[in-house]
Structure 1
Amino acid sequence: MILKGNQRAHGKELARHLLNDRDNDHVELFDLRGFTADDLTGAMQECEAVARGTRCQKHLFSLSLNPPEHEDVSVEAFEAAIARAETHLGLENQPRAIVFHEKEGRRHAHAVWSRIDGERMKAIELPYYKTRLNEVSRDLYLEHGWRMPDGFKDKKNRDPLSFTLAEWQQVKRTKQDPREVKSLIRECWAGSDDRKAFEAALKENSYWLARGDKRGFVAVDWRGEVYSLARCTGAKSKELKTRLGDPTELLSTDMARAHVAAQLTPKLKAWAKEERARAEKANLAAKFQRDQMVQRQRKIRDDLKRKQQERWLTEEKARAARTPTGIRGLWGWITGKNRKIRKENEAEIARAQSRDRNEKQNIIRKQLAERRTLQRQMKLAREKQQARLQELNRDVALAMKLRKVPETRATPKRGRERGSDHMRSRERSRGRDDDYSPPD
């Protein structure tokens, strides 16, 4: 189970993110401890109010727990992992919230603690928390018998195509998979041995080399999005400078954006927008199925919750009726009969709670299996969409180079191939070089 934590502020924004049921199939506020409020937003406001009595800027600690894909992890296993992380971080008995998310057939959890010690009115220090969380995570993989990620065995083997929050936000804007973008830029880097060759390879895929504000070298696409070359290629700053030269010789990010935007004529923009819409339609059917499935699954869970609540009330009344009142109650207290009844009721409550939790877990397990089946279909649709977007990037670069918008195609895939081949043959016949760009 991968554990990722960070110290942060802005509890209201965090609550909004954790309760977001638009990007998640299912969201469950599982537990609130140490709060007066009975909702997550109110709990985060309480944390912020307490923190105002201190000078702590990041009064929350947020932790995400991601088990291996396709592993059936029980609620108890999540709770045990959270408790262990809590102990290692020194956050025992601190106000805490737990939220479960289900998305794309996977279930993961989020835990949020207040770092403010209410008695001393001081923030709890969390030195080396990343190292401690990695230790807990490694132990969980070993104890559960899960296949440990290569990055845990050796830091050098970490996934080079992993992406950050900022890159995830780019996904939402551009609809492009950051792994695909990184893979493409890595191919351009691996296939070139100087700046001229690298720039040519980038331009063929609709990326332009530029000077970043803080990141040295960056790539700018025709949409104006910026990608760090150090992160995309995995190369060190020294290696980048050795191959690409002085970054001050390149256009700045803003100037590169302006240069690219000047080449995007209104007709080319309209054509690109049309092509993006075609690519988006590829997975609309799967998205519709997903929405229908999620609504149906939510109804099943709501029905189960209502059924369990009604049954719980009935059973509570039955348990209350067992305890004698009045003179009989007094006599039962003297003889110890009431104590026996209370123990029987407590045992029955434990069994009922276990029964209800198992019923819920069984439904979640079945629904996750159903969702994974659909996810495989959506993955295929997404791969086709990504292929169309990558083809679009190349066509846009070629259209900007030739100053000619491709003719409208009848079908997205075959037509795109014919249009691209036609444009490339025109390029070869004109004998244009890779450094050519239309006048500003």
Structure 2
Amino acid sequence: MISGATRGQGLGDALARHLTDAENDEVVVVPARGLASMDLTGQIRELVAVSLGGRTDRPVYHVHVDPDHGIPDEAGARALFWSLFEKEFGLRDQPYCGVEHVKHGRRHEHRIYGLVRTDGSVVDLAWDYPRREKCSRIVEHAYGVPPVPSKHARAIERRLRTEGRHDVADWLVDAGATTAARPIAPLTPTERLIQDRTGILLDDLRRSALAAWRASDDAASFVAALRARGLDLREGRVGAVIVDASGTTHLATRLIGAAARRLEGARIPAVVVRARLTGFELRETLHGRRDRATPRQAGPGVGSHPSGAGAPGGRDGSVGIRRIGGGPGRPDGGGRGRDGRDPDTALGRLRALPAGRTMILHRRLAGLDITLDRYGADVGRARSATDRMEAERAYESRRAWLLWGKTDIWGLPLT
């Protein structure tokens, strides 16, 4: 029983197009729960719309499950998996939509769940991979097929015993799953989606990045070697990132480490990569994962909100909206970003300045000699903050106008 999952914003219609792609032999839209729209595109948009009150910028959870070949009752196996899965994650009352695919004679199912509850809280997906695998192991045990190898087998066995499922835990031990070598997948589900979207094979990217690493002995020569291979090194939100030909960013420590492990058999530790890059001045990335001052065009229905989230009034007339503060620097639950900075605090202080102080600040910034190295970075950050504030004001004004008099499916005003 194989399952996979990705979590995202659900903005635009790319997910709906992917799930209804004609490359499948058969596509059947399954009955939705808690949604009024009749088609998959509308259902996904509705999931995003009802998540506006939640403290997350990734309210959509896309899960797929593929029963084992040895299970004749694949519909029953899928039904058992979804029952266990919803109980495990507390999703029994959450809206969802989905499709069934038949491809090469095999049937599998995709579901897209909304993660924001009616009280605004967000479903906890911590350790979602081993928790989903635990559900799969229970299904395999119930249908008498061997367990799929998993690097989490020992953790799953311990958890099963904690929950009183000693029969499944003993079955895992007897099958040798807890003592087998841990399998390493060549691609994660997210990496596979990125590879499909960009058309750039991750193994080729890893090979080029590792060759640049081996051909260099310091940060400057590493950057030069990357650029000679059509890549670049930039400053990302949580560290240095390697930018490929499509503009997609990849965390440098992760890409170099995974490349060495896959191609040479031994991983290069992240601390070694960071040590080589320490003290080297990098430019902020301008493509892929953009800085928060750069509008992000992610497809139909996505506007110019500086957080990269959808704004109302897209090209297709859809209303795909994210709240202010729900951008990539604000993880679930608010607070500081993963890099330890809190940009909203600084922006709040700027917004609170009296009109006179704001004019003085603008005059001083305009009079600075930005050619001086000591001022360049500060001026850039200040101007980015100013542009971001102006974009947020314009977004709020446009949002309020488009939502005037509109309500969600429960009759609550969209504000």
TM-score range, shorter chain: 0.3 to 0.5
Question: What is the TM-score normalised by the length of structure 2?
Answer: 0.45
Question: What is the TM-score normalised by the length of structure 1?
Answer: 0.43
Structure whose residues are more often helix by fraction: 1
